[in-house]
A and B are shown apart, each in its own frame.
Chain A
Amino acid sequence: MSRSLRRIGVETFAVLASVVIFWIPLYFVLLTAMKSAPEASEMNLAWPSKIQLWQNVKEVVAFRDHMLLRAFWNSTVLTVLSLAAMVVVCSMAAFVIQRRNDRATPWISFFVLAGLIIPPAIVPTIWVLNEIHLFKTMIGLILVEVALGFPFCVMLYRGFMAAIPREIDEAAVVDGYGGYRLFFTIIFPLLQPVTATIVVTQAVFVFNDFTNPLYFFPGAKNATVQLTLYNFTSQFLSQWNLLFTDILLITIPPLLLFIFFNKKIVAGMTTGSVKG
């Protein structure tokens, strides 16, 4: 009895702490987005004298020839295509890297780890993209995102691939499976929980990426949502309400994605995961 009471106490405390630590900053953003410019500059948690969220939204969306709408389209395309490429390419690579063990393995590990460590060299990258005529193109930017996301994804895939017993592979080979069939019909579905994790984290990463679109995908027509935030920072001068409205709007898509995938992650991990 006392144990369950204590558990409830701990849980109540956790919920209260989550409110203070996580909800208040978000509430602050939401509140500021609802205010008028002078009230927003007070930076406090006072309830706005007049809620003008909708008006702020309209103002932000209409700003600079509806730049935000175009940015949403660009960011969506970028995120979806990058993710699709990343999941396929990286899971395949991780499969080989984890399963094989020969002279090349340490080198491959080294290059993967190097990718996590080395800050990307922007200007030489632009030069390379320009040479292969992919600078300023969506495809070029997608390739950049895949290349930069590769080490992280491979690391995660490899870690979880290690939990898939080799006996499965051996049994499949005995049954006459080839490499591709083994991977795509047996291994890849088993990776679903990790894939969900990768989809969520990398989608957010790509969607929130700011530096790469700035350099590899320049042009007013090519703006992504993070660039709008950046552009608006200097243009809204002291109009914090509009800036925070923009923050609010560009946070909605990742939020929806998470709400949708969150269940998949939890469900996938609790039921589908392979127990070694």
Chain B
Amino acid sequence: MSKPRKFFALLSSVLMLSGLLAACGGGSSDKENESSPSASGASPSGSASVSASAPAPSESQEKVKLTLLVDNNQDTVIYTKALVDAFQAKYPNITIETETRPTGSEGDNFVKTRLATGDMNDVFFYNSGSLMQALNPEQNMIDLTNEPFQANVIDSFKPTVSINGKIYGAPVGSTMGGGWFYNKKIYAQLGLSVPKTWAELMENNKKIKAAGITAMIGSYKDTWTSQLIMLADYFNVQAQVPNFAADYTGNKAKYATTPAALRGFQKLEETVGYYNKDFLATTYDAGLKMLAEGKGAHYPMLTFAVPALVQNNPDKIDDIGFFAQPGDSADQNGLTVWMPGGAYIYKNTEHPEEAKKFVEFVASAEGVSIMGTVSKPSGPYAIKGAALPDDTPQVVKDMLPYFDNNQTAPALEFLSPVKGPSLEQITVEVGSGKRKAADAAALYDQDVKKQAQQLGLAGW
């Protein structure tokens, strides 16, 4: 089994790069979570650049048809269509047939089954980080390390789609942050300020609740949303235990026995009682609506919610702000970020050259600006030189100081392939007061064992 060695190679490269992680952002977060980062670059010049883009550098006039697999998120479908249309206009000899798949864990299953039966599309969009590692990239994907377009990709993205120092993907869209959306009107009305410590945040919660307003929006009907507080706490974990990811992967550190890591579960436990009454029946979409309409003050969520917020409540977007999940000390305040998903090329594609052209296009400044015409970014782009457009909503701009001041850390799933499958059920139990934090952490430690063994990691 060469997996462990592979993995440590990856890990060390990640650790080396983590110092450089000034600019990064989100991919998608977890299993049940959408498999694609929704947002992506916006650009005022986007539409102009489509029409201005040079006509096809037609090397071969032979007609080629590529197939593309993406998830069926509304936002993904929208920006994929924009990308494909622009690409086909640029390369008239290549046509792309887009196929959609389910999101979340059904989608993971779908992709794995396709690969196992030798039936994958030429190009497919999929998560980066731990989920991508589970696809056995060396056997299933074309090595893109030496493609010229990798020069455009920010360095912090590359390790999340790499194995053994080889890069297998290119970023699709923008990074994103995991933290707390808040309603500025409610904050202004109650004279609250953005909290720098967890204690301040809970103090705000208390005041909001006392004022008769729902302090926190819970949307546990979509169970993955219950993990946010625990996952978004990783900046604070890393600040106190810099080696946590490596030790955790090597089965040397545990959530239950590492106080800094346990804090994530404890913080979640402390929020019990602040949620909307029907939080167990509320969906993610309904949660966003509540946030936009000011029916709840806080919503812990990934910023990939921004495009949906803009599409569904364009007039309310300026009422919404964002801050990172604070730690226990104001000195250490920073943002946990998620990387965008990747575009990968199937190893057995019949048209590797054309497929590479498409991936290059997706990962180009041009591709990013085309995506931006239909979908707002959720954070800085993973493409160098692709600046956020001026009309980027303020809620996304709220994130930028963290990046500018080097106060970011990637989410654990981009540093370690170990993520337990039952986390979202466990966090639902904690968030609804059915299980204590310590108990939950111990249960989760047991849960991740399966994943580590499945991946064949050393030490498990």
The answer to whether A123 and B99 have CB atoms under 8 Å apart is: no
- Nearest-CB distance from B35 to chain A (Å)? 11
The answer to whether A231 and B100 have CB atoms under 8 Å apart is: yes
The interface residues of chain A, by DSSP majority, are classed as helix
Count of inter-chain pairs, beta carbons less than 8 A? 45
Chain A positions 201-230 with a Cβ under 8 Å from a chain B Cβ: 214-215, 218-220, 230
The answer to whether B113 and A123 have CB atoms under 8 Å apart is: yes
Interface residue B189 (Cβ < 8 Å from any Cβ of A): no
The answer to whether A238 and B116 have CB atoms under 8 Å apart is: no
Instruction: Evaluate whether A127 and B117 lie within 8 angstroms (CB atoms) in the complex, with A231-B72, A234-B102 already known.
Output: yes
The answer to whether B74 and A238 have CB atoms under 8 Å apart is: no
- Nearest-CB distance from B68 to chain A (Å)? 10
The answer to whether A238 and B312 have CB atoms under 8 Å apart is: yes
- Nearest-CB distance from A187 to chain B (Å)? 42
- Nearest-CB distance from A127 to chain B (Å)? 7
Interface residue A1 (Cβ < 8 Å from any Cβ of B): no
Contact of A234 among B74, B98, B118 (CB under 8 A): B74
Residues of B in contact, count (CB < 8 Å): 22
- Nearest-CB distance from B82 to chain A (Å)? 15
Cβ of B98: which chain A residues have Cβ within 8 Å of it?
220
Interface residue B286 (Cβ < 8 Å from any Cβ of A): yes
Interface residue A136 (Cβ < 8 Å from any Cβ of B): yes
Cβ of A235: which chain B residues have Cβ within 8 Å of it?
72-74, 77
Cβ of A238: which chain B residues have Cβ within 8 Å of it?
285-286, 289, 312
User: What mask results when residues 75 to 112 of chain B are scored 1 for a CB within 8 Å of chain A, else 0?
Assistant: 00100000000000000000001111011000000100
Interface residue A262 (Cβ < 8 Å from any Cβ of B): no
Interface residue B119 (Cβ < 8 Å from any Cβ of A): yes
User: What mask results when residues 144 to 184 of chain A are scored 1 for a CB within 8 Å of chain B, else 0?
Assistant: 00000000000000000000000000000000000000000
Chain A positions 78-101 with a Cβ under 8 Å from a chain B Cβ: none
Interface residue A126 (Cβ < 8 Å from any Cβ of B): yes
Instruction: Evaluate whether A234 and B99 lie within 8 angstroms (CB atoms) in the complex, with A123-B113, A135-B117 already known.
Output: no
Instruction: Evaluate whether A234 and B72 lie within 8 angstroms (CB atoms) in the complex, with A126-B113, A215-B113, A218-B114 already known.
Output: yes
Cβ of B103: which chain A residues have Cβ within 8 Å of it?
234
Cβ of A220: which chain B residues have Cβ within 8 Å of it?
97-100
Q: Once bound together, how far apart are the Cα atoms of A230 and B72, in whole Å?
A: 10
Cβ of A236: which chain B residues have Cβ within 8 Å of it?
74
Which B residues form the contact surface with A (CB < 8 A)? 72-74, 77, 97-100, 102-103, 110, 113-114, 116-119, 285-286, 289, 308, 312
A-B contact pairs, 26 of them (CB 8 A): A64-B77, A123-B113, A123-B116, A126-B113, A127-B117, A130-B117, A135-B117, A135-B119, A214-B102, A214-B110, A215-B113, A218-B119, A219-B99, A220-B97, A220-B98, A220-B99, A220-B100, A231-B100, A231-B102, A234-B72, A234-B74, A235-B74, A237-B74, A237-B285, A238-B289, A238-B312
Which A residues form the contact surface with B (CB < 8 A)? 64, 123, 126-127, 130, 135-136, 214-215, 218-220, 230-231, 234-238
What are the 7 closest A-B residue pairs judged by CB atoms, nearest first?
Answer: A220-B99, A238-B285, A235-B74, A130-B117, A231-B72, A237-B285, A234-B72
- Given contact pairs A218-B119, A234-B73, A238-B286, enumerate 10 new A-B contacts (beta carbons under 8 Å): A123-B113, A126-B113, A126-B116, A127-B117, A130-B118, A136-B119, A218-B110, A220-B100, A235-B74, A237-B285
